[in-house]
Amino acid sequence: MDWIISKDLVDYELALSRMDERVAGIHDGSMDDAVWLLEHPALYTAGTSAKAEDLLEKRFPVYKTGRGGEHTYHGPGQRVAYVMLDLKKRQKVPDIKDYVWRLEEWIILTLARFGIKGERRCGRVGIWVVRDNGREEKIAAIGVRVRHWITLHGIAINVAPDLTHFGGIVPCGISEHGVTSLKALGVEASMEEVDAALKACFGEVFLSGV
């Protein structure tokens, strides 16, 4: 199992190419499973279910991608974790729904280390928090793809991005709820601290009970 951390912003198309290379290596047995932690320059991605009308304003480059889901934003201050795991080796029976549940649990446990209660919502992808006024806001996105039962793409946690950048899209097709971040919730956390929490919680979710 390899952990890869990129200190500089990573071009989106380069990231896709590197993920493809890793998945091919995992498939032929020449490479180990990996989690790649990185940040992208400001951009929008359109998943396989993206609707054209949900791109409200083309403020940044837009990339069509093979992951599931709709439009999302990536940019500085957001920790992206690309997860490349061989589900045939990690699950008794490969199960994508179980894998997505584990991604959600990974985020929830990570947020809990910073005193933030992340929650699932039926029918809404990602992890949500409830503000004091009752407003629900999304703090983390999930988008996955599976090839040869090996996972691609992964999660994105809003640590301290410019939240106004989300205004160019309807995030994940959901317009009635907002978007938030650790910083907006009053939590000042460095990427290094978030990475440490992600690493610690990963083992609780993916290396036990599978």
Separation between Cα atoms, residue 15 and residue 38, nearest integer Å? 9
Number of domain units in the chain:
1
**Per-residue pLDDT at 159 exceeds 80:** yes
Query: What is the identity of the amino acid at 65?
Result: T
**Per-residue pLDDT at 16 exceeds 60:** yes
The pLDDT of residue 210 = 39
Catalytic residues: 172
**Per-residue pLDDT at 175 exceeds 90:** no
Average pLDDT, the chain: 93
State the pLDDT confidence band at 209, using cuts at 50, 70 and 90: very low
State the pLDDT confidence band at 34, using cuts at 50, 70 and 90: very high
Separation between Cα atoms, residue 49 and residue 52, nearest integer Å? 10
Interhelix angle for 191-206 vs 96-112, to 10°? 140
More confident residue, 176 or 107: 107
What does the pLDDT look like over 52-91, one tens digit per residue? 999 999 999 999 998 888 899 999 999 999 999 999 998 8
Stretch 27-43: mean pLDDT? 97
CATH number at residue 71: 3.30.930.10
Q: What is the pTM of this model?
A: 0.94
DSSP 51-97: -GGGB----S-EEE-SSSSSEEEE-TTEEEEEEE-BHHHHSSS--HH
What does the pLDDT look like over 176-207, one tens digit per residue? 688 999 999 999 999 999 999 999 999 999 87
C-beta atoms surrounding 199 within 10 Å = 14
**Full domain range(s) for residue 116:** 2-206
The pLDDT of residue 173 = 66
**Per-residue pLDDT at 208 exceeds 80:** no
